[in-house]
Amino acid sequence: MNIRHLEFVVAVAEYKNFTKAAEAVHISQPSLSHAVATIEKQIGTSLFHRLGRTVALTSAGEAFVESARVILRDLAVLHESVRSVNELESGHLDIAAPQSTAAGILADAVGLFRTQFPGISLRIQTSENAHDIERLVRTGKCELALTTEKVAPPLLEEVCSVQSNLAVFPPGTDVQEGVLPHSAFAGKPLIVPTGIYQYYGGFLLDIPSGLEQPVLAVETDSRQALIPLVLSGAGITFLPTGLATHAQRLGCVVREINPPLTQEIRLIMRQGPLSPAALEFRRAVYSLNPETSAT
């Protein structure tokens, strides 16, 4: 078994069809089928369920493909690392991030990186599920990710920035000008992402005991629904600057908060060397926050 064989199996897994996979790896369909069958014979188990014109991974196939992707990613890093950073004239970099981060520090870092390395294309995958973000990096589909969640070993994480959130009110809400104290939210209906209400613990403690606590009006597992819910008048939410600015353009009322409501942004990666493109993107992320530094 060689690297080419790993590419064959991964291609079949991605296209779920031997003919399309053969076209992608530039060999004939019979040759691809024979190669996969040979691999299955060598390891003593089937990697795919043959379902007529399509295929699906077996449990063994899922484990094989996950490991194969990691090996292929590491091999690509090995090849790219022999070149100088100054030779980053082509190629691509895969990054994962939740939408809230993609609209903030990720967008800024992408703009800076593309200015410096216009020949490198970036492929960004978004998910609001922290486990999905973690899996994209762990399986080698993405080399880097930005997230507000801590990750489990063996992944590595670095706190690279702090994200400030602004208060976003429904259109037409009569809100005092300037920066709002936490007490301004006493008794107000809040719209929050599922599982994040505890994140507002310090914020809630700052509201004087004599005032009514905010009401958890809506809890949603879709961060994409936060702005539409505010626009509908369902309540108030807190969004990073990028998304809050977008909501303001749509008619929402936006205010700063004091003390600020912040979250740490983490850059996550697998153990091992980063590609030259990933190293430069990491530097771009850190350059946006002078209080942090990339080693």
**Domains of the chain, residue spans:** 3-81, 86-159+265-287, 163-263
pLDDT at 32: 95
Predicted confidence (pLDDT) at residue 294 exceeds the cutoff of 60: no
**CA distances, 233 to each of 208, 228, 250 (Å):** 26, 9, 13
pLDDT at 194: 77
- Same fold flag, 86-159+265-287 and 163-263: yes
| CATH fold group of domain 163-263 | D-Maltodextrin-Binding Protein; domain 2 (3.40.190)
10 Å CB burial of residue 158 (0-12, 13-18, 19+) is middle
152 pLDDT band, cuts 50/70/90, is: confident
Q: What are the tens digits of pLDDT across the range 70-114?
A: 999 888 887 776 655 447 777 889 999 987 776 678 888 999 999
Neighbours of 121 (CB within 10 A): 13
- At the top level of CATH, the class of 3-81 is mainly alpha
Task: Write down the pTM of the prediction.
Answer: 0.63
Task: State the number of CA atoms in the 13 A half-sphere of 51 facing the CB.
Answer: 11
213 pLDDT band, cuts 50/70/90, is: confident
- CATH tag, 86-159+265-287: 3.40.190.10
> Phi-psi bin for 92: left (phi > 0), alpha (psi -120 to 50), beta?
beta
Contact 293, 163 (CB under 8 A): no
Predicted confidence (pLDDT) at residue 149 exceeds the cutoff of 60: yes
Tell me, what DSSP letter sits at residue 236?
Answer: B
